[in-house]
């Protein structure tokens, strides 16, 4: 059951797509605080699931999280806000209910941080809709919520292939050589990403003609090798006379305004930019149509970036800081002056104080950005998604974004932002999967190998062993970091085999993705969502269930050749060195130490289940669905979803087929 309550006069967020009538009376489970916030009492063993893209564990208890979309490439355990905000959580234990706060501004969830037995929710103001969802189980609550917010985005099948990306591929030659190195070693690949370097001086919807002469020929050349090019689009539009996007935006009032009604100026990659007012339907239509410039040249996938929006500086803040720094530097800079100086400089970028310097036009009213901050990235993705319906009515286009909030899941996926080549961020990648799925984001994954800082071969191998299962499998790294294309590593062969395993698993991964998207379900679940009565399963923070068939427990620590795993029931361990070199072992319910050498990917098949496997292929187009095998338990059946991977008439009855082992077999390969 879903109950909706309204406080004050909320801004329309378009997070929810189903109409629900307002309920009367008291809001259940939540008590109002005098100052306007809310509190929820937590019993000792209550678990708090959800909150989407946030740091820390699957159980969110014990920290304070703020929904305020933030560009933070240095995030760690003590970070409060990341790139996306997803105000949906479930409390499970002494009571079971879900809460969604439909709110566009900054809101803080103190989940037992100040007082262990209380969740305290405070916001900028209390103009919001509150949804309370009750149900029989966590999965039931998620399903009701997902129905409320509408169907999740579905990418083309090729977007489940391996993608290679790096900030710093300067020109067509660089990209050609990446493609060639992959081909030479026969490492499967479906896409290469174009970062800001492909643009002419970082201007959206331009291609640097010196770096990419004959861009459309280049797209065709790559397509003929089975490679899709995926260009980045940034939120800020460069201020430059003669640049059509800038000029049209100014002429038609498509940009956000400052307090005096002038186009607001911030600075990002191209220097001074204006920010499109994506909250306005006309701006979305205009900006969305601009993607046709690239679609017409053969592009069929994009990533939207810097759309929190990230602001490197605003001119007034920069001036004020420089002035103060000059003052400070004139004297004998004592330690507190020095702290002030470093703090001021560090605070120039992405300063939340800049959010009330610009305004959106919502139905003719000027609304401060601060009030609707978290809607910005969503509406950039929506601009693209709405346009793709017209520009490409029959064929899916890949779209994923950095910033998001609930609602954006209908138009695109997200990647988990600028992570680091850290073991802790590998674990965080795993921990975020179920909370993002709860919020409707199914097409997701993290920058594999880590974006910032220098990766290592063992981290890359271990990360591949998790990313082999995430819908988005993209190796991406920052300019200036150690190069991390798979062929850079001495044990490239082991990396290649991990990618081959991914391709063998694609029929299963795609099938599970589609079933989750079409049925409003989660693809990745905490163990306790299926093993509800098992108190040990409830404690597990580093394993996941994928679909109904498998459990993931990757190794995520350096110099470990195995890990402890909890099995909530008997399962079959699959230890794979390559797609056709693997062994299986039945393990009983309980705690186990499971060995997994660096070149071994492990996962578990649940009791009585089986999964389909394909022969490795060099790209998704070459996966042979006619020769799938099942691995798993004797006599097990699997409901396979498959379609052409590109058209939009999903979910037809003929797309489903039940696979069953033809021969009786024990655990192992049954065809
Ligand atoms: C941002 C993106 C990152 C990209 C970089 C340059 O930091 O998050 O993925 O490589 O900008 O465009």
CB of 187 within 8 A of CB of 494?
Answer: no
User: Angle formed by the axes of helices 315-330 and 335-346, to 10°?
Assistant: 160
Whole-number Å distance, alpha carbon 628 to ligand 1 midpoint, is 38
Ramachandran area for residue 326 (φ above 0: left; ψ -120 to 50: alpha; else beta): alpha
Q: Is residue 11 part of a domain?
A: yes
CATH of the domain at 123: 2.60.40.1760
Whole-number Å distance, alpha carbon 167 to ligand 1 midpoint, is 7
Whole-number Å distance, alpha carbon 401 to ligand 1 midpoint, is 11
Strand order in the sheet with 668-670: 610-613, 629-632, 668-670
State the average pLDDT over residues 587-615. Answer: 97
Q: Atom 5, ligand 1: which residue's CA is nearest?
A: 167
Q: Atom 8, ligand 1: which residue's CA is nearest?
A: 418
Kindly give the number of the ligand 1 atom that is closest to the alpha carbon of 479.
10
Q: Is residue 126 part of a domain?
A: yes
Kindly give the residue spans of alpha helices, DSSP state H, lying in 185-266.
215-224, 244-251
**pLDDT tens for each residue of 164-210:** 999 999 999 999 999 999 999 999 999 999 999 999 999 999 999 99
Cβ–ligand 1 distance for 195 under 6 Å, the answer yes
Whole-number Å distance, alpha carbon 305 to ligand 1 midpoint, is 7
pLDDT at res. 668: 44
Kindly give the residue spans of alpha helices, DSSP state H, lying in 185-300.
215-224, 244-251, 281-290, 292-295
- Distance, in Å, from the CA atom of 223 to the CA atom of 233, rounded to the nearest integer, reads 20
Cβ–ligand 1 distance for 167 under 6 Å, the answer yes
Read off the pTM. Answer: 0.97
- Look up the domain containing 13 and give its range: 2-149
Question: 322: which residues sit within 8 A by CB, 6+ positions away?
Answer: none
Cβ–ligand 1 distance for 398 under 6 Å, the answer no
Kindly give the number of the ligand 1 atom that is closest to the alpha carbon of 73.
7
Lowest mean pLDDT among 25-34, 120-129, 144-153, 527-536: 25-34
Residue 407: which pLDDT band, with cuts at 50, 70 and 90? very high
Cβ–ligand 1 distance for 196 under 6 Å, the answer yes
CB of 126 within 8 A of CB of 135?
Answer: no
> Is the pLDDT reported for residue 666 higher than 50?
no
Torsion of CA 345, 349, 355, 360, to 10 degrees: 140
Q: Is residue 519 part of a domain?
A: no
CB of 188 within 8 A of CB of 619?
Answer: yes
- Distance, in Å, from the CA atom of 531 to the CA atom of 539, rounded to the nearest integer, reads 11
Question: 184: which residues sit within 8 A by CB, 6+ positions away?
Answer: 487
Q: Is residue 121 part of a domain?
A: yes
Q: Is residue 205 part of a domain?
A: no
Report helix, strand or coil for 228. Answer: strand
Q: Atom 3, ligand 1: which residue's CA is nearest?
A: 418
Q: Is residue 593 part of a domain?
A: no
Tell me how many domains the chain contains.
1
Q: Atom 4, ligand 1: which residue's CA is nearest?
A: 167
**Phi, psi values for residue 287, rounded to 5°:** -65, -45
**pLDDT tens for each residue of 624-659:** 999 999 999 999 999 999 999 999 999 899 999 999
Nearest residue to 135 via CA among 310, 280, 299, 3: 3
Helix (H) or strand (E) run with residue 55 in it: none
> Is the pLDDT reported for residue 671 higher than 90?
no
Cβ–ligand 1 distance for 474 under 6 Å, the answer no
- Distance, in Å, from the CA atom of 611 to the CA atom of 580, rounded to the nearest integer, reads 15
Q: Atom 7, ligand 1: which residue's CA is nearest?
A: 418
**pLDDT tens for each residue of 310-336:** 999 999 999 999 999 999 988 889 999
Interior angle at CA 120, CA 531 and CA 360, nearest 5: 105
CB 353: neighbour CB atoms within 10 A?
10
Whole-number Å distance, alpha carbon 547 to ligand 1 midpoint, is 31
Q: Is residue 192 part of a domain?
A: no
pLDDT at res. 669: 44
What are the tokens at 569? 């029931």
Q: Is residue 119 part of a domain?
A: yes
CB of 669 within 8 A of CB of 629?
Answer: yes
Report helix, strand or coil for 310. Answer: coil
């Amino acid at each position: 059951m879903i109950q909706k309550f309204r406080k004050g006069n909320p801004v329309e967020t378009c997070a929810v797509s189903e109409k629900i009538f307002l309920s009367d009376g008291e809001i259940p489970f939540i008590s109002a605080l005098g100052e306007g916030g809310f509190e929820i009492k937590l019993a000792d063993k209550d678990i708090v699931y959800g909150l989407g893209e946030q740091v820390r564990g699957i159980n969110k208890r014990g920290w304070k999280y703020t929904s305020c979309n933030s560009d933070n490439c240095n995030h760690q355990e003590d970070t409060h806000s990341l790139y996306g905000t997803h105000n949906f959580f479930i409390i499970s234990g002494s009571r079971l209910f879900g809460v969604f706060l439909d709110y566009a501004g900054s809101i803080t969830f103190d989940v037992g941080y100040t007082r262990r037995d209380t969740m305290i929710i405070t916001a900028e103001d209390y103009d919001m809709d509150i949804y309370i969802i009750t149900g029989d189980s966590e999965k039931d609550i998620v399903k009701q919520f997902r129905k409320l917010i509408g169907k999740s985005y579905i990418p083309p099948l090729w977007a489940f292939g391996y993608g290679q990306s790096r900030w710093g591929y300067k020109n067509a030659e660089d990209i050609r050589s990446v493609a060639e190195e992959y081909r030479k070693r026969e490492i499967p690949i479906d896409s290469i990403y174009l970062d800001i370097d492909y643009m002419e001086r970082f201007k959206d919807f331009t291609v640097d003609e010196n770096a990419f002469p004959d861009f459309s020929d280049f797209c065709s050349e790559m397509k003929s090798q089975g490679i899709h090019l995926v260009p980045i689009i940034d939120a800020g539009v460069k201020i430059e006379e003669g640049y059509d996007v800038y000029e049209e935006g100014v002429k038609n009032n498509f940009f956000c305004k400052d307090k005096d009604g002038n186009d607001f100026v911030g600075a990002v990659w191209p220097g001074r930019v204006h920010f499109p007012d994506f909250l306005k339907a006309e701006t979305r239509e205009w900006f969305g149509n601009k993607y046709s410039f690239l679609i017409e040249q053969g592009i069929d996938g994009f990533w939207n970036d810097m759309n929190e929006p990230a602001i490197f500086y605003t001119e007034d803040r920069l001036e004020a800081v420089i002035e103060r720094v000059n003052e400070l530097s004139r004297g004998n800079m004592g330690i507190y002056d020095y702290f002030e100086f470093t703090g001021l400089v560090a605070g120039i970028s992405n300063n939340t104080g800049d959010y009330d310097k610009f305004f959106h036009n919502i139905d003719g009213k000027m609304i401060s950005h601060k009030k609707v901050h978290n809607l910005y990235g969503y509406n950039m993705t929506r601009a693209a998604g709405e346009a793709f319906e017209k520009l490409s009515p029959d064929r899916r286009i890949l779209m994923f974004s950095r910033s998001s909030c609930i609602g954006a899941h209908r138009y695109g996926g997200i990647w988990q932002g600028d992570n680091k080549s850290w073991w802790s961020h590998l674990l965080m990648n795993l921990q975020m999967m179920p909370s993002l799925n709860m919020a409707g984001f199914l097409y997701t994954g993290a920058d594999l190998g880590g974006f910032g800082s220098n990766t290592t071969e063992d981290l890359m191998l271990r990360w591949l062993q998790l990313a082999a299962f995430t819908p988005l499998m993209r190796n991406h790294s920052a300019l200036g970091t150690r190069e991390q294309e798979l062929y850079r590593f001495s044990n490239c062969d082991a990396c290649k085999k991990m990618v081959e395993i991914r391709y063998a698993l694609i029929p299963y991964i795609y099938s599970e993705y589609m079933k989750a998207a079409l049925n409003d379900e989660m693809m990745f679940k905490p163990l306790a969502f299926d093993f509800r009565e098992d108190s040990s399963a409830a404690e597990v923070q580093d394993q996941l269930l994928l679909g109904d068939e498998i459990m993931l427990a990757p190794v995520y620590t350096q110099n470990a050749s195995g890990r402890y795993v909890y099995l909530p029931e008997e399962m079959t361990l699959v230890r794979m060195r390559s797609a056709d070199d693997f062994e299986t072992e039945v393990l009983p319910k309980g705690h186990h130490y499971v060995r997994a050498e660096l070149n071994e990917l492990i996962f578990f098949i649940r009791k009585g289940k089986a999964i389909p496997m394909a022969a490795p292929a060099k790209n998704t187009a070459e996966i042979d669905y006619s020769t799938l095998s099942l691995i798993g338990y004797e006599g097990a059946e699997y409901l396979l979803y498959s379609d052409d991977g590109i058209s939009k008439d999903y979910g037809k009855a003929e797309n489903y087929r039940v696979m069953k082992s033809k021969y009786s077999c024990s655990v192992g390969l049954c065809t």
